[in-house]
Each structure stands twice: as C-alpha cells, then as structure tokens.
Amino acid sequence: ASTLGAQAAQSGRYFGAAVAAGRLGDGTYSGILDREFNSVTPENEMKWETTERSRGSFNFGPGDQIVSHASSHGQRVRGHTLVWHSQLPSWVGSIRDANTLRSVMNNHITTVANHYKGRIYAWDVVNEAFADNGSGQHRSSVFQDVLGNGFIEEAFRTARSADPGAKLCYNDYSIEDWNSAKTQGVYRMVRDFKSRGVPIDCVGFQSHFGAGGPPGNFQTTLSNFAALGVDVQLTELDIAQAPAGAYTNTVRACMNVSRCTGITVWGIRDSDSWRSGENPLLFDRNGNKKAAYGAALTALGGT
C-alpha cells in the first residue's frame, strides 16, 4: 500500500497521529490526516483541564469534534488521558482528603469514559505515574500523595466498569530502554496487575526520542512486556531531526513484535509538533513527505 495507515492495516496494525481539534479546519492538515492515518489521539482535548475544568462540570465539545471526524473517516480513537498529574485543574491538585479525591477521580473516569463509550479503541487510563529519579517507584503527585500506591489499580478498575469494550493502557515516556529503573518499575506493576487480575490490556511507550532514535534494546523491551500478556503500542512517537534510519529502527522494532498493535506519531507536520524546533515528524511545514516518511512506510512493508 502507499499510505501509512493502509500499509499498517495489512499486518493488522494501525498508524495514527495526535490531532488538535483547532487544526481540523486546515485543509492541508486534514488532507494528510485522512489520507495517511487510520487512528487519532486527541493531543489535548480529552485531558482533565479541558473535560472537567471545574468540579462536576464537563465539557466534551473539543473531544467530540475529533471523535466525530474520526468516525466519519474510519479512524480509530485512542483516548488520552483519564488520570495525569499534568494539565490537571488546580481544584483537583488542592484536594487533601482521600475520600474526596477518590470520589472525584472515579467520577471523572466514569463520566468521561461513559461519554465516549463504544467509540474508544484504547484509553490511556493513567499517564506518566512513574518517577524519573532512578527509584523505579511512582512519582509524587496529588493522586500518589493523597491516595497512595493503589490509585493506579483503582483507576483501571473504574475505567473497566465504565467502558468494558475499550482496551485499557498504562502510558509513559522513557520506558523504552529495558535497562532503566523506570522501565523495570512499570514492568513490575504490569506483572503484578496481570497476576492479580487487575484489568490492564496494553502499555503505551510514548517514544519521544533524540536524534539517535530508540535504544538498541527497544524491541527487547516491547517483547518482554508483550510476554506478560498485554498489547504494546508506540503512542507519541517523534524523533529530533527525524533521521530516516532512526524511524526505520523504531518502526521495525514494533513490526518485529506481534503484540505491537500500532504506532502513533505525535503530530502531523513539523509545525504542528510540541517540539517544532526539532522538526521531529514525518511531514514538513508545507505538508510534504520527508525522508523519514519513506523510511516509516518501507519499514511497515510498503512502497
């Protein structure tokens, strides 16, 4: 096939992009989106600061725009994200009472997941809960500090009840290198969840890489997680300067692991990227394909 999504579909995978609702009216942007991609992730529109800016008052407008675009163009949707310490309204961050925070968290998960029920392929239920300090433990956050270690398990159980049809993922960055304490911490959590029957279906590896691309053991990391009985996905891929070889290595790592079910790049054109100064994506500012595009398509098996 001659597009990323169609080629990925030949092996039962998807190839997606992070999408901003405010850009859907840009014809160049939506032209590339609808030609190349068969999955979308709302870049900001399903985050807590947008969906529940004040307690109990929900706003699904921007997220709905993306979901309706996706459904009219045959694209699946990755929901991003239900519980995250960042882009969290200050009213949540200031709760100190555990019973209050537990009910606020569960109400948020239930209301958002229920609103989108049946339209979400996979939810990033909890995002970036592990620390970068080499401890392999959870990071400090209002959820961790007030609810304790059990908040992640509780979030997954609540999400499963709200939308039993969606795959439930844990999503994080810097967990691509097998020899890192953070990777090992997440691995132990997933192993524990699987052994105790806590509902988890997938792990998202954000894959925000420097110009060197993925660590040499990335495929090992993906297959070790998959061996626990979860799908693995590359959820926010971008690579500084987008070297073709680095994209090749990244896409190959996924293609070589049968439970690696899809890849999402974190934006369409370099000008759409949160790292736009690094030109990390597959399309240039004018919407033209870069060398990295050809590398990704070839690594998927296409021409």
Cβ-based neighbour number of residue 140 at 10 Å: 11
Site size toward ligand G3I, by CB under 6 A? 8
Q: Is the CB of 213 or the CB of 267 nearer to ligand G3I?
A: 267
41 binds ligand G3I (CB under 6 A): no
* Shortest Å distance, C-beta 269 to ligand G3I: 14
Q: Is the CB of 87 or the CB of 179 nearer to ligand G3I?
A: 87
Q: Is the CB of 75 or the CB of 127 nearer to ligand G3I?
A: 127
* Shortest Å distance, C-beta 113 to ligand G3I: 18
**Tokens 């979308």 map to which residue?**
40
Q: Which residues contact 94 (CB under 8 A, 6 or more apart)?
A: none
| 154 annotated active-site | no
43 binds ligand G3I (CB under 6 A): yes
DSSP assignment of the chain equals --SHHHHHHTTT-EEEEEE-GGGTT-HHHHHHHHHH-SEEEESSTTSHHHH-SBTTB---HHHHHHHHHHHHTT-EEEEEEEE-SSS--HHHHT---HHHHHHHHHHHHHHHHHHTTTS-SEEEEEES-B-SSSS-SBPP-HHHHHH-TTHHHHHHHHHHHH-TTSEEEEEESS---TTSHHHHHHHHHHHHHHHHT----EEEE--EE-TT-S-TTHHHHHHHHHTTT-EEEEEEEEETT--HHHHHHHHHHHHTSTTEEEEEES-SBGGGSTTGGG--SSB-TTSPBPHHHHHHHHHTT--
* Shortest Å distance, C-beta 276 to ligand G3I: 10
* Shortest Å distance, C-beta 43 to ligand G3I: 5
274 binds ligand G3I (CB under 6 A): yes
60 binds ligand G3I (CB under 6 A): no
Binding residue for ligand G3I (CB under 6 A) from 30, 44, 107, 174?
Answer: 44
238 binds ligand G3I (CB under 6 A): no
Among the listed residues 128, 153, 176, 278, the single catalytic one is: 128
What binding mask, one character per residue, do residues 200-219 give for ligand G3I by CB under 6 A, x or -?
------x-------------
* Shortest Å distance, C-beta 115 to ligand G3I: 19
Q: Angle at Cα 283 formed by Cα 70 and Cα 18, nearest 5°?
A: 35
Q: Is the CB of 102 or the CB of 108 nearer to ligand G3I?
A: 108
Binding residue for ligand G3I (CB under 6 A) from 176, 236, 270, 272?
Answer: 236
Among the listed residues 43, 45, 176, 236, the single catalytic one is: 236
Binding residue for ligand G3I (CB under 6 A) from 10, 86, 133, 241?
Answer: 86
Please list every residue from 143 through 202 that binds ligand G3I, using CB under 6 A.
none
| 43 annotated active-site | no
Burial of 126 (0-12, 13-18, 19+ CB in 10 A): buried
**Residue, CB closest to ligand G3I:** 274
Q: What are the catalytic residues?
A: 128, 236
Residue ranges that bind ligand G3I, judged by CB under 6 A: 43-44, 86-87, 127, 206, 236, 274
